[in-house]
């Protein structure tokens, strides 16, 4: 009788602990986890929207969003673009349920080349990318570099396929590229 009571008490405590973990906010379990992976996301026309490489991805089953550790995104320039693809790295990343918004946070570095093959980079702490429309935004300070020019500003609005950038409170520095 004591053994049955002990087993029932143990099971009851274990069940209560499991219920507490499931009910605690912020402790939801992922429905899947990917490690050391490469993922290619396609748009509605079946073309590559973006490619993602990272050491770890977790998916929130309720919101159907993905959280990523140290992501590297490749955003194709598109069939009509005369410039190169963008490679974007950051400390953390987030992908919306529809895959139409990427949020990159912490030491964000975006690299590409212009129509002449010269490097173009953007550095910031926050970058929101919209792969379908080839747009990027950032509400914080951004540095844009290309040979001969460094732009520092905030409130970035960029059209990635056309390499057009709009910044507020801009400070520009021109450098000679001749040696």
Determine contact, residues 95/68, Cβ cutoff 8 Å. yes
Per the listing, tokens 């919209």 go with 130
pLDDT digits (tens, 9 = 90+) for 108-135: 999 998 878 889 999 999 999 998 888 9
Average pLDDT, the chain: 83
User: What is the model's pLDDT at position 45?
Assistant: 84
Residue 20, pLDDT score? 42
CA angle 75, 78, 81 (to 5 degrees): 115
Q: What is the pLDDT of residues 89-110, one digit of tens each?
A: 999 999 999 889 999 999 999 9
Architecture of the structural domain at 29-174: Sandwich (2.60)
Q: State yes or no: pLDDT of 144 exceeds 80.
A: yes
- pTM summary value: 0.78
């Amino acid at each position: 009788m004591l053994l049955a009571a002990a087993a029932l008490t143990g099971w009851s405590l274990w069940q209560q602990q499991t219920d507490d973990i499931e009910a605690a906010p912020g402790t939801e379990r992922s429905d899947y986890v990917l490690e050391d992976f490469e993922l290619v996301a396609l748009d509605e026309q079946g073309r590559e929207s973006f490619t993602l490489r990272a050491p770890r991805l977790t998916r929130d089953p309720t919101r159907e969003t993905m959280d990523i550790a140290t992501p590297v995104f490749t955003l194709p320039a598109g069939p009509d673009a005369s410039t190169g693809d963008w490679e974007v790295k950051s400390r953390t990343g987030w992908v919306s349920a529809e895959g139409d918004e990427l949020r990159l946070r912490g030491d964000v570095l975006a690299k590409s080349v212009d129509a002449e093959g010269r490097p173009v980079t953007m550095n910031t702490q926050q970058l929101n990318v919209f792969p379908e429309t080839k747009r990027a935004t950032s509400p914080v300070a951004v540095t844009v570099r290309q040979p001969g020019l460094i732009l520092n500003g905030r409130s970035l609005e960029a059209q990635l396929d056309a390499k057009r950038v709009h910044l507020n409170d801009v400070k520009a520095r021109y450098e000679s590229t001749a040696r």
